[in-house]
């Protein structure tokens, strides 16, 4: 579906109400949307090899600018041939701007119009990131999709704070855009505005005044009751440019994904499936389970009888429980393979349902399964 | 080379002085010797999948009776279809007797003629292992090669202690043998006797008075200067039955392996390549290296230019160093793949050299490489 596309082109194949099925082209090939991106914070998706990522259906890997800047540093990665070669992932890579981590991980932040000064969470060393610096880092990494440097407010925030922050984010977007000098990298702008539809529309108008190949929704999943995000998304996502990918940053659970696709979102990323896998929490089509529970001790069945991932095809729940209880590395591996495969299958089935004009039935089946599961979590 | 062999048959293909090239048949297929077995303590070779073990050239996996008895328990594994199915490894499995770990890991041991009472290192619970119990556990696991239950003395020990211990080990061997009721499992006896040739000969005569499909040398690599093992091996290994496999337990470094093959040993196991991999120590044909060293920070070359393992074909030293410094799971994985591949290649090349009548040249080349490397370790 993608052979004829140019870099940065977004081709819509099907839609049902707001939900969309499309292809987006980058310098490292195309990917099909709706798409969930695997988070590879420190130049590796934790516990996974690139071949396993592929086998799970991963199309895009996300790298974290903040972490890679601090260690091993973007200059080293550039010298080693760029992030793709360094980590042996030759598909599309998206990098965030570093802003979110500066605000959530570092200490002693000092924010000015120019940018943010902060101390590394690793060694306390002083660093400074500005829109220009963030673009430079992401271009040095060789990222296919670069995120604009924005301010990500904590929840809750006052109207005044949100307004000030949106205006700053807009000025930083223009500086981010002006700093882009690498034709293989595509810049996405980030819409902020908290949980107010009015603010979101204001920010959307600002951000889309800069013509970019894609736009994101930032500032969700920052501690607000998730119901509030579910409610506002159908009002804001459809207002985003129709012929460009829409990326909801840092989201979410399987339930969040289905609701967001229905609202018109195309791209997602979240540490959830990989992080909880390492803690023994596994997503199945029958709901979420904790593999450490006593009931699985002598369970010779597969983790999820509806799943055809490597883990489910070759190992029993009893073995997965044993590995988890013993703290074995293979536990993190097999659990992560399963959870990522689950997320990627959820998205593949969403794409197929949209192509085959049966999105509402698929959506409703997922909602029934996941609403119940989320309530028991 | 092995299709016509019966279970327990050991077929010699070539020899050069004491060094031998052979095939041994088990209920789960044959393996080629000299052979290094990967240690899979808790029903997993740490950080590895069974497919990766195969790709590295692993033929036999060793399971630890002590650990598996305590968690998850051999009855559970039996219920799940046996250790092969439980861990998804369908090649030969050898299990130790549990004796070594009882003596090295547990507390409050009380040894009697009957067996050993001890407290679990996991939760302090009281356990009792006798020769009969050890055989029962190993048969429940479904092991292809079962080790007799012996006493493994610490180094140093007095002549009196060694003598008493050998006699007990002999009585326990006869009880181990009498307790064997599973035709798919092959029992190996263990020769003890410390570092005295006289004692070793005495124990060898005792142990080989029981007709078994294989014999092992125990009680080495228990803290003695390794030079003493190197010196005694050429005097004791050749006295072991020629038409049976000879297994040197818990050994060793690449240098140890070459010296021991030269003395007539056929089988080995050791945690060394997998354990040190997780600590960033990597074996190469140019010697041992520590991947965390500053000199590899910007090194775009492969770990070992002479190696064709997955790690060396796809990643740079700079990336491996980054993963190690970041504590990433992929570090343990890539390092373990490399070290096991190195060990398995060392053995495959030894087999080829023996087949092609150029063992002395290969041996001497290895000795030159590894003596230097061992000295810098």
Model confidence pLDDT, tens digit, residues B41-78: 999 999 999 999 999 999 999 999 999 999 999 999 99
Q: Which fold has domain B10-270?
A: TIM Barrel (3.20.20)
CB contact under 8 A, B47 and A297: no
Name residues whose C-beta falls within 8 Å of residue A327's C-beta, 6 or more positions apart in sequence.
Answer: none
Q: What is d(CA A170, CA B321) in angstroms, rounded to the nearest whole number?
A: 39
Which residues in chain A are closer than 8 Å to B333, comparing Cβ atoms? Answer: 49, 329, 333
Give the minimum alpha-carbon distance from B254 to chain A in angstroms, rounded to a whole number. 25
d(CA B117, CA B103): 11
SS3 state at B215: strand
Q: What is the pLDDT of residue A331?
A: 98
Distance CA A320, CA A328 (A): 10
Residue B95 · residue B148 · CB < 8 Å: no
Instruction: Give yes or no for A314 touching B (CB within 8 A).
Output: yes
Write the CA distances from B256 to B38, B221, B233, B253, B313, integer angstroms: 16, 10, 10, 5, 28
In this prediction, residues A79-84 reach a mean pLDDT of 98
- Per-residue model confidence as pLDDT tens digits over B80-119: 999 999 999 999 999 999 988 888 887 778 999 999 999 9
What pLDDT, on a 0 to 100 scale, did the predictor assign at position B374? Answer: 61
Q: Is A269 a catalytic residue?
A: yes
Would you state the structure tokens that stand for residue B13, as one six-digit string? 């293909």
Measured between alpha carbons, how far is B59 from B40 in angstroms, rounded to an integer?
13
Could you tell me the pLDDT band of residue A3, with boundaries at 50, 70 and 90?
A: low
Q: Between the CA of residue B225 and those of A226, B221, B229, B231, what are the distances in Å?
A: 64, 8, 7, 11
Contact B67, B96 (CB under 8 A): no
Q: Give the model's pLDDT for residue A103.
A: 82
Is residue A79 within 8 angstroms of chain B, CB to CB?
yes
Q: In this predicted structure, what is the pLDDT of residue B373?
A: 65
What is the chain A residue with the closest CA to B318?
A: A80
A48 CB neighbours in chain B (<8 A) are: 330
B315 vs A88, A323, A328: nearest CB: A88
pLDDT at B377: 42
Nearest chain A residue (CA) to B48: A330
- State the catalytic residues of B: 96, 269
State the DSSP string of A77-110: HHHTT-HHHHHT--S-EEE--SHHHHHHT-EEEE
Give the pLDDT band of residue A196 (cuts 50, 70, 90): very high
Strand partners, B33: B22
The residue among A67, A330, A337 with the most chain B CBs within 10 A of its CB, best to mutate, is A330
Using the beta-carbon criterion (under 8 Å), do A47 and B330 form an inter-chain contact? yes
What is the distance, to the nearest Å, from the Cα of residue B294 to the centroid of all Cα atoms in its chain? 33
Per DSSP, the residues of A168-229 read HHHHHHHHHHHT---TTPEEEEEE--TT-HHHHHHHHHHHHTS--SEEEE-S-SSSS-HHHH
Q: What distance in Å separates residue A45's CA from the closest CA in chain B?
A: 9
Sheet holding A126-129, edge to edge: A107-111, A116-119, A126-129
Reply yes or no on whether the pLDDT at A1 is more than 70. Answer: no
Nearest by Cα to B133 from B152, B109, B149: B149
- Cβ–Cβ gap B44/A333 under 8 Å: no
At B7, list the tokens. 């279970």
Which pLDDT score is estimated for B376? 45
From A96, A144, A150, A266, the catalytic residue: A96
Mean per-residue pLDDT, A17-25: 98
Is the distance from CB of A266 to CB of A35 less than 8 angstroms?
Answer: yes
B332 neighbourhood in chain A, CB within 8 Å: 329
Measured in degrees and rounded to the nearest 5, phi and psi for residue B22 equal -150, 175
| A110 burial via Cβ count (<10 Å: 0-12, 13-18, 19+) | exposed
pLDDT at B149: 97
Which residues in chain B land under pLDDT 50?
A: 376-377
Which among B47, B88, B323 is the nearest to A44, CB-wise? B323
Angle, helices B329-355/A329-355, rounded to nearest 10 degrees? 110
Q: What phi, psi does B321 have (nearest 5°)?
A: -65, -45
Residues whose CB is less than 8 angstroms from the CB of residue B207 and which lie 6 or more positions away in sequence, other chains included? B169, B170, B173, B189, B190, B191, B215
Tracing tokens 């192509």 back to the chain, one arrives at A355
Note whether A42 contacts B86, CB cutoff 8 Å: no
Contact with chain A for residue B41, Cβ under 8 A: no
* Inter-chain residue contact A49 with B330, CB threshold 8 Å: yes
pTM: 0.97
The ipTM of this complex is: 0.97
- Nearest Cα neighbor of B155 from B73, B93, B80, B222 is B222
In chain A, which residue's Cα lies nearest the Cα of B319? A86
How much is the pLDDT for B375?
52
Which A-chain residues 321-360 have CB contacts (< 8 A) with chain B? Answer: 321-323, 325-326, 328-330, 332-333
Q: CA-nearest residue of chain A to B47?
A: A329
B31: phi then psi, degrees, rounded to nearest 5 = -140, 155
Using a pLDDT cut of 70, give the percent of chain A over it. Answer: 98
Long-range contacts of A268-273 (CB under 8 A, 24+ apart): A268/A34, A268/A35, A268/A36, A268/A37, A269/A36, A269/A37, A269/A38, A269/A39, A269/A62, A269/A94, A270/A36, A270/A39, A270/A221, A271/A39, A271/A41, A273/A336, A273/A339, A273/A340, A273/A342, A273/A343
Pairing state between β A214-217 and A186-191: parallel
Domain ranges of chain B: 10-270, 277-375
**Given the residues A140, A262, A266, A269, the one annotated as active site:** A269
What is the b/e burial string over B105-141, where b = at least 16 CB atoms within 10 angstroms of the residue's CB? Answer: ebeeeeeeeebbbbebeeeeeebebbbbbbbbbbbbb
């Amino acid at each position: 579906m993608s052979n004829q596309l140019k870099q940065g082109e977004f081709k819509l194949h099907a839609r049902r109400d707001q939900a969309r099925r499309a292809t987006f082209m980058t310098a490292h090939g195309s990917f099909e949307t709706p798409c969930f991106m695997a988070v590879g914070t420190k130049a590796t998706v934790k516990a996974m090899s690139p071949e396993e990522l592929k086998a799970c259906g991963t199309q895009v890997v996300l790298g974290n600018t903040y972490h890679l800047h601090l260690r091993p540093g973007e200059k080293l990665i550039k010298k080693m041939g760029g992030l793709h070669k360094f980590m042996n992932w030759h598909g599309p890579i998206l990098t965030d701007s570093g802003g979110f981590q500066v605000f959530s991980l570092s200490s002693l932040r000092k924010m000015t119009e120019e940018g943010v000064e902060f101390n590394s969470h690793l060694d306390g060393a002083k660093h400074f990131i500005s829109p220009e610096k963030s673009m430079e880092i992401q271009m040095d990494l060789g990222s296919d999709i670069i995120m604009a440097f924005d301010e990500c407010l904590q929840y809750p925030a006052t109207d005044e704070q949100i307004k000030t922050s949106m205006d700053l984010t807009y000025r930083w977007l223009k500086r981010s855009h002006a700093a882009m000098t690498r034709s293989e990298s595509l810049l996405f702008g980030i819409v902020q505005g908290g949980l107010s539809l009015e603010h979101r529309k204001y920010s959307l108008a600002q951000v889309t005044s800069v013509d970019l190949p894609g736009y994101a929704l930032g500032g969700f999943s920052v501690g607000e009751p998730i119901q509030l995000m579910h409610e506002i998304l159908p009002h804001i996502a459809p207002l985003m440019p129709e012929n460009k990918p829409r990326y909801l940053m840092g989201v979410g659970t399987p339930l969040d994904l289905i609701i967001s696709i229905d609202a018109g979102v195309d791209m997602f990323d979240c540490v959830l499936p990989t992080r909880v896998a390492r803690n023994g929490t596994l997503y199945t089509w029958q709901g979420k389970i904790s593999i450490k529970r006593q009931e699985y001790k002598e369970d010779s069945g597969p983790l999820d009888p509806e799943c055809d991932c490597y883990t489910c095809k070759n190992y029993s729940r009893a073995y997965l429980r044993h590995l988890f209880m013993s703290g074995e590395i293979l536990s993190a591996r097999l659990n992560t393979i399963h959870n990522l495969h689950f997320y990627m299958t959820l998205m593949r089935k969403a794409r197929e349902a949209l192509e085959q004009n049966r999105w509402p039935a698929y959506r409703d089946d997922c909602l029934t399964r996941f609403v119940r599961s989320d309530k028991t979590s």
